[in-house]
Structure 1
Amino acid sequence: MSTETVYLQRDQPDGVPPLALTGERTLPDVPEENYWFRRHLIVYEHIRARVGGLRVVDMACGEGYGTDVLGRTAASVVGVDANPEAHEHARLKYTRPGVRFARDLVETFDEPCDAVVFLQTIEHVQDPDAILERFRSLVTADAEPGRPGVAYVSTPNLLTLAPPGAEKSENPWHVKEYRAQEFRELCEAHFEHVEILGLFHARKLAVHAFAIDRLRWDDVHKGLRITKPFYDWFTPAITESDFVLSADRDLDEALDFLAVCRTS
Structure 2
Amino acid sequence: MTDYQPTPQSDQLALTGERTVPGIAAENYWFRRHEVAYEYILDRCAGLDVLEAGSGEGYGAAMVATRAASVTCVDYDEQAVEHTRRRYPELIVHQGNLIDLPLADASVDVVVNFQVIEHLWDQSAFVAECHRVLRPGGVLLMSTPNRITFSPGRDTPLNPFHTRELNAAEMTELLAGAGSEASGPNVTGAGGGFDVQQMLGVFHGATLRALDEKWGGSIIDAQIERALAGDEWPAELTDDVAAVATADFDILSATDADIDASLDLFAVAVRR
* Pair in the same fold by TM > 0.5: yes
Match of 2:246 among 215, 240, 243: 240
In the alignment, which residue of structure 2 is the partner of 1:250? Answer: 258
1:193 Cα deviation after fit: 3.6
Long gaps (5+) in structure 1: 1-8
8 Å Cα contact 2:110/2:138 also seen in 1: yes
Please name the residue that 1:151 is paired with: 140
Amino acid corresponding to residue 210 of structure 2 in structure 1: V
Give RMSD over aligned pairs: 2.2
Q: 1:10 to 1:52 in 2, by over 3 A?
A: closer
The 5-angstrom pairing of residues 65-76 of structure 1 reads: 65-76=59-70
User: Separation in 2 of the partners of 1:194 and 1:210?
Assistant: 34
> Structure 2 residue aligned with 1:37, among 31, 35, 38?
31
Q: Distance in 2 between matches of 1:128 and 1:194?
A: 20
2:197 equivalent in structure 1: 194
Check whether the contact 2:157–2:164 (CA below 8 A) recurs between aligned residues: no
For residues 110-149 of structure 1, the aligned pairs below 5 Å read: 110-111=102-103, 112-140=107-135, 143=136, 148-149=137-138
- Aligned mates of 2:94, 2:174 — CA distance in 1: 27
Name the SS for the 1:213 alignment partner.
Answer: coil
Q: Which residue of 1 aligns with 2:159?
A: 171
Distance 1:33 1:209 in 2: 17
Q: Is the 8 A contact 1:115 1:150 kept in 2?
A: yes
Looking at structure 1, the residues matched to 8 and 27 of structure 2 have their Cα atoms a distance apart, in angstroms, of 12
Q: Structure 1 segments of 4 or more deviating over 4 A?
A: none
Verify the 8 A CA contact 1:158 1:167 in the aligned structure 2. no
Alignment check: 8 A CA contact 2:150 2:158 kept = no
Following the alignment from structure 2 to structure 1, what is the Cα–Cα distance between the partners of residues 196 and 168? 16
2-structure distance, mates of 1:32, 1:10: 15
Q: 1:110: how far off?
A: 3.2
Aligned length: 236
The answer to whether the Cα contact below 8 Å between 2:45 and 2:67 also exists between their aligned partners in 1 is yes
The question of whether the paired residues in 1 share the 8 Å contact of 2:96 and 2:102 is answered with: no
Q: Which residue of 2 aligns with 1:60?
A: 54
Q: Partner amino acid for 1:241?
A: A
Aligned to 2:268: 260
1:11 CA displacement: 2.4
Paired residue type of 1:180: A
Q: Answer whether contact 1:157 1:178 (CA < 8 A) is retained.
A: yes
Report deviation, 1:204: 1.4
**In the TM superposition, what is the alpha-carbon distance from 1:10 to its structure 2 partner?**
5.5
Q: Secondary structure at the match of 1:173?
A: coil
For the 8 Å contact 1:80–1:104, the answer to whether it is kept is: yes
Q: For residue 207 of structure 2, what is the aligned residue in structure 1? A: 204
Amino acid at match of 1:167: D
Per-residue deviation, residues 135-187 of structure 1 (Å, max 9, x unmatched): 011103xx4xxxx1100111101111113x21333211111111221111211
Distance 1:31-1:192 versus aligned 2 partners, 3 A rule: same
Mapped partners of 2:26, 2:259: distance in 1: 27
Quote the Cα distance in structure 2 between the aligned partners of 1:167 and 1:120.
20
Q: Which amino acid aligns with 1:106?
A: L
In structure 2, runs of 5+ residues without a counterpart are: 1-6, 178-192, 227-231
Fraction of identical pairs, as percent = 35
Matched letter for residue 126 of structure 2: I
Provide TM-score, normalisation by structure 1: 0.83
User: Are 2:167 and 1:161 equivalent residues in the alignment?
Assistant: no
Q: Structure 2 matches for 1:17-36, cutoff 5 A?
A: 18-36=12-30
CA distance in 1, matches of 2:102, 2:132: 9
